[in-house]
Amino acid sequence: MSLLQVTGLNKAFGGVKAVDGVDFTLGKGELLALIGPNGAGKSTTFNLVGGQLAPDSGSVRLAGQEIAGLSPRAIWRRDVGRTFQIAATFASLSVVENVQMALLSADRKVFAFWRRAAGHRRGDALALLERVGMGNQADRPCSALAYGDVKRVELAMALAHGPQLLLMDEPTAGMAPAERLALMALTRALAKERQMGVLFTEHSMDVVFGQADRVLVLVRGRLLAEGTPEAIQRDARVQQAYLGN
Ligand code: ADP
Ligand code: MG
């Protein structure tokens, strides 16, 4: 059974079919890239899987259970993690406190007592930061970090929750090319060691073709092609419709 199975997914906004009959699967430990031109329906697909939007029709199954139309909170509780295009950390807290907050939230403690995060699972938070290459910056305020480092903290926060599926919509937006590759190579290693499925969008083809196990190409809401990075690079329809050569 696939970790994620999406079948006949549809979502329209007024007359625009943002997602139009999309089918795909994602396995444990697999890195699946969703690519396509602007307006192709990538973010809408993420929002349908993450619960920020409800589909007009179609099915989203996580480990065999239907999750389409559930609230983001309910989907999060089923161990679906998410990072956002704009990194979402608490700038006034330190790096390690941000991860402690994420652990606190994952442990379903009362969020209102967030100031107690200072004492919560600091060792576990440090271990996560170590794993994403941020162990030496644990006590700096998040506001003092370089943007690429904030994205690493955000990844550690997503991992705090122990997701079986991680949704990353444009995780490397605003990052330099070398940093992009490093972040996604790290994500790939984490996916393999935790057997976590990762669905991500990415504009840099170097990153997509170098890191993804499989690639989905979405054009105007429809899946144009699906395959290994090698097959997608060779696909004449993809070159014509998307890569522009
Ligand atoms: P991508 O992420 O691939 O750039 P989106 O999923 O954001 O594409 O958008 C797909 C299509 O749906 C676009 O035509 C976009 O204008 C439209 N769309 C997305 N979200 C909304 C919304 N909330 N209201 C109206 N139209 C939307
Ligand atoms: Mg988008």
What confidence score (pLDDT) does residue 110 get?
Answer: 47
What confidence score (pLDDT) does residue 200 get?
Answer: 97
pLDDT one-digit tens code per residue, 113-154: 555 556 778 999 999 999 999 999 999 999 999 989 999 999
What mean pLDDT, rounded, does the chain reach?
A: 90
pLDDT one-digit tens code per residue, 74-102: 998 899 988 866 667 777 888 998 888 88
pLDDT one-digit tens code per residue, 211-228: 999 999 999 999 999 999
Which residue lies with its CA nearest to atom 24 of ligand 1? 13
Side by side, which strands form the sheet with 16-26?
Answer: 16-26, 4-13, 57-62, 65-66
Helix 147-160, helix 177-194: angle, nearest 10: 10
| Contact (Cβ atoms closer than 8 angstroms) between residue 138 and residue 96 | yes
Q: Is the CB of 217 under 6 A from ligand 1?
A: no
Give the environment of ion ligand 2: residues with CB less than 5 A: 42-43
Token couple for 174: 């605003």
9-18, 94-103, 133-142, 187-196: which range is least confident on average? 94-103
Q: Among 9, 16, 42, 224, which is best to mutate for testing ligand 1, by the most ligand atoms less than 8 A from CB?
A: 16
Spatial separation of the C-alpha atoms in residues 50 and 191, rounded to whole Å = 18
Tell me the domains of the chain and their CATH numbers: 1-79+163-245 (3.40.50.300), 93-162 (no CATH)
